[in-house]
Structure 1
Amino acid sequence: MNRLRVLCPDTEPGLVDRVLGVLDAEPGAVHVVRLRGAAVDPPGDVVEADVAREAVDDVLDALRDLGCAERGGIVLETLDTVVSDAADRAEAAVPGEGVDAVVWAELLGRTGQSARLSVTFVVMLTIACLLGAIGVVTNSPVTVVGAMVLGPEFGPLAALAVAAVRRDGPLARSAAIALAAGFAIAVPVTALAAAGAEAVDLVPEDALTNLSGVEFVYQVGPFSLVVALLAGVAGMVALIAGEGSGVLVGVFISVTTVPAAGFAAVAVTLADWPRAASSLLQLVVNVAGIVVAGVIVLVVVRASRRRRGVPESLPTRPRSG
């Protein structure tokens, strides 16, 4: 279930009644509450309701058609626990399963925030690349796993997929800038660290030959694209469902991106150009595969929604606080 809160300003006579009409007509909406005069800025009424996740997108579309987003405001929150027979009946009355439902406003909020270039993103990506480089140089799969856990790059990759489906140029540019700038900083920093380690004789002589446990990081094989596609599907499905499996999904997705970038930095430092080129190709192939898989998942979801007779209305990207 999701908690919906709608601000209906006094300057729009009849708006609150139309909002209540939308909720009354929706079998997936329960626990409707009208708080008269509760809104301060702008002054007006507040309407709250609990809505089955499968019905949220339809309700939001109807409220946007009423102009609630422009004239007042719409807030959506996820409810972890709702103990109510009425809520159970509401969920049963709406076709489908909540875990499979796509709430576009929620998805846009998540990906839009992840697509922004930030200090946190750059720092985490740089640390992940450093760990990936250390793991490859020392032939340590455990350290490579550490890089996988820290890798934050799926956020912008998912945003690129959403932007492609929505044809959202600003979102695509924001995500592309975050990825390009992030790797443009993380890879040189990793290369400098590798050069410093080599200068003090910390890099083993067989650093680029004893790679039996981590060859998958730089070797572009027949399954490279398959792994990337599966990773993209898993990540987008988890993002849509909003499940708390982000860490495991992050491990799966980062396996072919961050470690490849870290290894490329080391290979360039040690002048191993063939392996450097192979690592960069691995990175490009898997980034492209993840984005393409994300697009496919979203297209399938939209097509499924249309087959059920629900009109598609993609919202504008919500502003974050």
Structure 2
Amino acid sequence: MRLVQVLIPEGTRESVLSTLDEQGIDYAVFEEVGRGDFEAMVQFPVPPSGVETVMDELTEAGIREDTYTIVLPTETVVSQRLSALVERFPGLRISREELYARAQDLAPANSTFFAFLILSTIIATTGLLLDSAATIIGAMVVAPLMGPAISASVGTILNDQQMTRRGVMLQVTGLLAAIATGAVMGFLLQQTILIPPQLDITSIPQVAERTSPNFLSLFLALGSGLAGSISIIRGSGSTLVGVAIAVALVPPAATSGLGIAFGLPGVAIAAAVLVLVNLLAINLSALILLYLSGFKPLEAGKYEGVKSSLFSRIAVIAVGIAVLSLVLGAVTFTTFQTQSFERQVQNEFQAGFEEADLPGVELVSVSVTYEPVDILLGNEPQVNVLIAVPRDQEIPPDLAQRWDDQLTAEFDRDVYVRVGFVEAQLSEREEPTPPLGWPSLTDRSGSHLRYPGTIRG
């Protein structure tokens, strides 16, 4: 429930009070002695979703747009006509005046914004290097990115160009500052003993997650933008909602900075693309939801102009997302190909060993080194096979090459097969062990070799 206080201009008292009576609203009137051009102040309770409608009616009754107005949240209101008002205004949406005030509060002062953002990036960069999801999430609580993202969209909907420009400026400069902070921190850490020399950051799962963006990342950004918009529309803003928006932006920005610091342009570009896609998606979802919620400009008569401008901005953002989604689509498709290839190779080897039934010989592991970038660059996949073999067991001399040829024929692509052996010991058996035959991926047969080792095909 909201308590609205409005000053009544001279000569409009009767029409204003008549309008409130027609709306079935209980009110209290106080004489105004502070300003000469107002004759009274009226205050009345109304549900949050009814504030905008009632204020529009009062504007037609003579309340000027620049009139002194206060909208306060209330704990309890006792009124005989309150239940009828609640039934008349059942929604949970706040008024555009309250939306405007909340959006202004969400965007902090520049110094506060950049201080919290830089600190958040430092914590997030540490979490990336430590491969600590908990640390990264903790950093997101500090990140103040929800305010600019929401205020930019609110400014667009309510036709406040200054709010829109400031929201966009804080988002762009803030994320550039985050990338720069990650780069500086990465460079400084390389000069210390805090990280191992020649650290390969692409081997860190939390970093690798931000360097292979796919369409699921887009859903995260869209959901974050919708959550932020709903929280402010319903007047239930929460720090946890801001965390969702920050997760989509700060960690990939820090990853891009680390890519710059470690001299890995591929990492820097991939993470920067993810940042840009997420930024556009958050703003797009917020704009669409605010428009569908029915908010109109603060100044009457500008709705059509704002509507045209809004559609233009939505179209531009959507085109930008579509273009960048080509990158996401390529990564998604190539990731699916590499994972499918690895799964098929593992199944082939597992089936071959199970059908061969080789006592004492065990397939320890099969892994495939094959990344999406390898598909784009035309690099061949590397299949790494590790086998446990008894000490006196003979091993075919051309085992790796035979598997290489069979995989090449099976998948119609060149592969590189690397076979490693570890010594295995078995307990004695009552029955003599039959001679071992080495499995083929096709006919499950093979020759023998007298020495173990690693064979390259």
Instruction: Give the alignment of 1:192-211 within 5 angstroms.
Output: 192-205=184-197, 206=199, 208-211=201-204
- Tell me how large the CA RMSD over aligned residues is: 2.5
Instruction: Give the alignment of 1:15-164 within 5 angstroms.
Output: 15-27=12-24, 29-30=25-26, 32-37=27-32, 39-40=34-35, 44-66=39-61, 68-70=63-65, 72-79=67-74, 81-86=75-80, 88-97=82-91, 99=92, 101-115=93-107, 118-164=110-156
Q: 1:218 and 1:239 mapped to 2: Cα distance? A: 32
**Using a 3 Å threshold, how does the CA distance of structure 1 residues 104 and 191 change in structure 2: closer, same or farther?**
same
State the shift of 1:313 in Å: 4.7
Q: Does 1:277 align with 2:269?
A: yes
Q: Does 1:300 align with 2:297?
A: no
Look up the match of 1:238: 231
Q: Of 210, 217, 230, which residue of structure 2 is paired with 1:224?
A: 217
Say whether the 8 Å CA contact 1:132–1:143 is kept in structure 2: yes
Q: Does 1:314 align with 2:307?
A: no
Read off the aligned partner of 1:120 and give its amino acid letter.
Answer: T
Where relative contact order (Cα < 8 A, 6+ residues apart) is larger, the structure is 1
More displaced, 177-186 or 228-237? 177-186
The SS at the match of 2:194 is coil
Unaligned stretches of 5+ residues in structure 1: 303-311
Q: How many residues end up aligned between the 2 structures?
A: 299
The SS at the match of 2:90 is coil
The SS at the match of 2:293 is helix
Say whether the 8 Å CA contact 2:47–2:89 is kept in structure 1: no
Q: 1:141 and 1:88 mapped to 2: Cα distance? A: 48
Read off the aligned partner of 2:233 and give its amino acid letter.
Answer: I
> Percent identity among equivalent residues?
24
Read off the aligned partner of 1:47 and give its amino acid letter.
Answer: V
More displaced, 288-297 or 59-68? 59-68
Q: 1:153 and 1:85 mapped to 2: Cα distance? A: 41
The SS at the match of 1:256 is helix
Say whether the 8 Å CA contact 1:116–1:175 is kept in structure 2: no
State the shift of 1:269 in Å: 0.9
State the shift of 1:150 in Å: 1.4
**Using a 3 Å threshold, how does the CA distance of structure 1 residues 146 and 270 change in structure 2: closer, same or farther?**
same
TM-score scaled by length of structure 1: 0.84
**Using a 3 Å threshold, how does the CA distance of structure 1 residues 92 and 43 change in structure 2: closer, same or farther?**
closer
Q: Does 1:8 align with 2:8?
A: yes
Q: Does 1:189 align with 2:184?
A: no
More displaced, 247-256 or 176-185? 176-185
The SS at the match of 1:46 is strand
| Rg (Cα) greater in structure | 2
State the shift of 1:117 in Å: 5.1
**Using a 3 Å threshold, how does the CA distance of structure 1 residues 158 and 36 change in structure 2: closer, same or farther?**
same
**Using a 3 Å threshold, how does the CA distance of structure 1 residues 210 and 274 change in structure 2: closer, same or farther?**
same
The C-alpha deviation readout for 1:281-313, integer Å capped at 9, x for no partner, is 1111111111111112122212xxxxxxxxx75
**Using a 3 Å threshold, how does the CA distance of structure 1 residues 94 and 38 change in structure 2: closer, same or farther?**
farther
Q: 2:177 and 2:37 mapped to 1: Cα distance? A: 44
State the shift of 1:221 in Å: 0.8
The SS at the match of 2:32 is strand
TM-score scaled by length of structure 2: 0.60
State the shift of 1:5 in Å: 0.5
**Using a 3 Å threshold, how does the CA distance of structure 1 residues 3 and 168 change in structure 2: closer, same or farther?**
same
**Using a 3 Å threshold, how does the CA distance of structure 1 residues 313 and 182 change in structure 2: closer, same or farther?**
closer
Look up the match of 1:306: none
More displaced, 144-153 or 189-198? 189-198
Unaligned stretches of 5+ residues in structure 2: 301-457
State the shift of 1:214 in Å: 5.3
The SS at the match of 1:49 is strand
The SS at the match of 2:44 is strand
